[in-house]
Chains A and B, each alone.
Chain A
Amino acid sequence: MRTQIRMESATSDEQIVQQALTGDADAFGEIVRRWERRIFALAFGMLGREEDARDATQETFLAAFRNLRAFRGEAKVSSWLHRIAINQCITRQRRAKVRSETGLDQEAEKNSKAFSLPAHVSPAYVAEHQERSQAVRRAVAALPTDLKQVVVMKEFEELTFQEISDALELPLSTVKSRLYTALRQLHMRLEKFENSFVVSDN
């Protein structure tokens, strides 16, 4: 459905990339404007931190611009961008893993608690809410990369199975089975969290 809406817009992404290749300086800016929020959402889901997500988004578009000539038009621009973004996130995660092993990743948790909630809700609710969000963030972060990218593309970006299949160059059935597995793993981790929350509450 969303794909159709996108196709109906005045100029397709593919046409804009062709314009960028012929030296139109504004054309690539249009691609960035169209996709930056969605790529940011993907990066946020993958990395779990706003700052990292912003950096990864920026790096994605830089890499896309540098490799613009490598885009031959056999794939859709959106798939190509998502692929670059996923690779950027995986690279960053690897670096972050090295960093956390050396004990430098403590601020991640603190940083992700900064998101504010409506003022009328009770502190107890806020505490539980934040705890749950933290649990989801941790559960997603703990997923293996191949499961994580599928569930983030689906839940954060709301891409269709076909779009995910195109972007990751995977068969549709693999996308679905990975999503299924990812959701089950998330459920188990969240269940564990809920049990621990109930125990600590009592």
Chain B
Amino acid sequence: MNDSNEKAVCSRANDLVDYLYGETSASSAANFARHMSGCRACRTEFALMTNVRESMSQWRSEVLGLAWRAEPVAFESSSEARSAKRLSALAALREFFTVSPLWLRGATAFAVGLFCLMAALFLARTWTPRETLYTKAEVNAEVQRELARLSNDSPRTPAAPVNNSSKEEIASKETGPTILPAFSPATHTKPATQKAARNLMTRAEREQLASDLRLKPAADEDDLTFLLEGGSN
């Protein structure tokens, strides 16, 4: 298409266009403004072209919406927001701290501290008892094992009753701190200690017991009858 079908009235048509759209340096603009004040043709052109531009702008706003002019900037910021989404978690955290006000940073630090404290307390409550407390079954098993060991060891020890009782004390001491309310060591240890005592009687004691049960005559039976006779007198 020919560009000269509308002949420019003034030779500075291109300068007029530059001036109209503000795409010119300050000095050039000032220069053209001076020219325009003396050039009637350019003044007229400028006025009618401004009018045309207003009509175009009105139509544009109608069809594309009034918010359109702000769009390119909003568009750039939204694309930046999208690229920010692809930042690493650390970078995002750093960005959060740089953009947030001081009180928000303080509040965040406080919240993090509080969270750590709560977490530590929670762990302390759940972990420590498990390490110090035995279960009932564990205590019972330990006691049985100890008693079995005692009953195996005792025949070899001469001073059995004394040792036995002291060992029993040791056993009860060992299990002592971990005793559960439902557990009574007495009921469990009593038959075992009786059995152990029976096994651990001295020869003299056994003979005494046998004579008491009249399994064989005692050495001092005569004295006994005398006593009995004396007693009957």
Contact = CB atoms under 8 A, between A and B. Distances in A.
Interface of A: 2, 5-6, 8-11, 30, 33-34, 37-38, 41, 44-45, 50, 112, 115, 117, 129, 132-133, 135-137, 140, 144-147, 151, 154-156, 158, 160-161, 173-174, 176-181, 183-187, 190
A34 B68 contact: no
A183 B53 contact: yes
Given A10-B80, A144-B1, A174-B3, A183 B58 contact: no
Contacts of A147: 1
B52 A190 contact: yes
A145 B16 CA distance: 23
Contacts of B79: 9-10, 30, 33-34
Nearest to B83: A10
Interface string B180-206: 000000000000000000000000000
B89 interface: no
B49 A50 contact: no
B56 A186 contact: yes
Interface string B59-91: 110111000110111011001101100000000
A180 B13 contact: yes
Contacts of A9: 76, 79-80, 83
Nearest to B57: A155
Contact of B75 (A10, A37, A176): A37
A5 B60 contact: no
Contact of A133 (B62, B71, B72): B62
Which are the 9 A-B pairs with shortest beta-carbon distances? A10-B83, A136-B59, A176-B14, A146-B1, A155-B56, A176-B17, A181-B6, A144-B1, A183-B49
Contacts of A176: 13-14, 17-18
Contact of B56 (A11, A33, A136): A136
Interface string B32-60: 00000000000001001101110111111
Given A10-B79, A10-B80, A183-B49, A41 B64 contact: yes
Interface string B1-29: 10101101000011011100101000000
17 contacts: A5-B72, A5-B73, A10-B79, A30-B82, A33-B82, A129-B58, A133-B58, A136-B58, A136-B59, A147-B1, A155-B53, A155-B57, A156-B60, A158-B69, A161-B18, A173-B14, A186-B55
Contacts of B57: 155
A158 B53 CA distance: 12
Nearest to A130: B62
